[in-house]
């Protein structure tokens, strides 16, 4: 009976795990991370499937959490799609390790493991496992050399970068 309860709690709350060899950025400054980010590349997931021109906008919530507004364009439906979520630091506001939910009590990991700490212009994000990956930037495009360097880092950490979907 106790095992069933533990399994239920895990399933009901989602996974806020950190994948092997992924280390969240420390000395993270949420106020510098706020604002709009553009998706440069991602691994495929049903919640973004068929969308282009994807962006994420982060702002503070009155409860001290983070408001997350994801937006993308569906060419098939010829309309914009939006999803609003909320995020909270798992351990410390100085560590880029958050739990984010778009669906009620279900949270998943949002881990910034690479960040332009000087200007906050690009970031690599992981979810609870290595099937979740995003390369985000403050602009809709980034230089090819930087993109190649960041993708090489993700590949070295075990993300399947051969399956990346690049924003057009």
Residue 156 within any structural domain of the chain: yes
Residue 75 within any structural domain of the chain: yes
Q: What's the pLDDT tens digit per position in 52-103?
A: 999 999 999 999 999 999 999 999 999 999 999 999 999 999 999 999 999 8
> CB–CB of 128/24 below 8 Å?
no
Residue 10 within any structural domain of the chain: no
Q: What's the pLDDT tens digit per position in 122-166?
A: 999 999 999 999 999 999 999 999 999 999 999 999 999 999 999
The contacts of residue 35 (CB under 8 Å, 6+ apart) are 57, 58, 59, 138
DSSP 77: T
> CB–CB of 28/94 below 8 Å?
yes
> CB–CB of 82/74 below 8 Å?
no
Residue 1 within any structural domain of the chain: no
The contacts of residue 17 (CB under 8 Å, 6+ apart) are 109, 128, 129
Q: Dig out the tokens for 133 from the structure.
A: 């990956």
pTM, full prediction: 0.90
Q: Give me the mean pLDDT over the 105-128 stretch.
A: 97
pLDDT at 10: 40
Handedness of CA 113, 119, 120, 124 (dihedral sign): negative
Range of the domain at 55: 16-166
CA distance 155 to 61: 34
Q: What is the tally of structural domains in the chain?
A: 1
CA distance 152 to 84: 31
Residue 105 within any structural domain of the chain: yes
> CB–CB of 125/57 below 8 Å?
no
Residue 8 within any structural domain of the chain: no
Residue 3 within any structural domain of the chain: no
* CATH number for the domain that contains residue 159: 2.40.128.20
């Amino acid at each position: 009976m106790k095992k069933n309860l533990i399994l239920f709690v895990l399933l009901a709350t989602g996974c806020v795990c950190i994948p092997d060899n992924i280390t969240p950025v420390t000395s993270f400054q949420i106020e510098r991370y706020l604002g709009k980010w553009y998706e440069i590349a991602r691994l495929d997931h049903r919640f973004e499937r068929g969308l282009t021109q994807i962006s994420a906008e982060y702002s503070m919530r009155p409860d001290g959490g983070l408001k997350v507004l994801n937006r993308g364009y569906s060419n098939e439906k010829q309309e914009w799609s939006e999803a609003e979520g909320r995020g909270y630091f798992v351990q410390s506001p100085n560590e880029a390790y958050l739990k984010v939910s778009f669906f009620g009590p279900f949270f998943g990991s949002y881990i910034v493991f690479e960040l332009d700490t000087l200007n906050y212009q690009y970031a690599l994000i992981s979810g609870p496992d290595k099937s979740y990956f995003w390369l985000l930037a403050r602009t809709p495009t980034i230089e090819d050399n930087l993109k190649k360097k960041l993708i090489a880092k993700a590949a070295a950490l075990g993300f399947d970068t051969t399956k990346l979907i690049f924003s057009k």
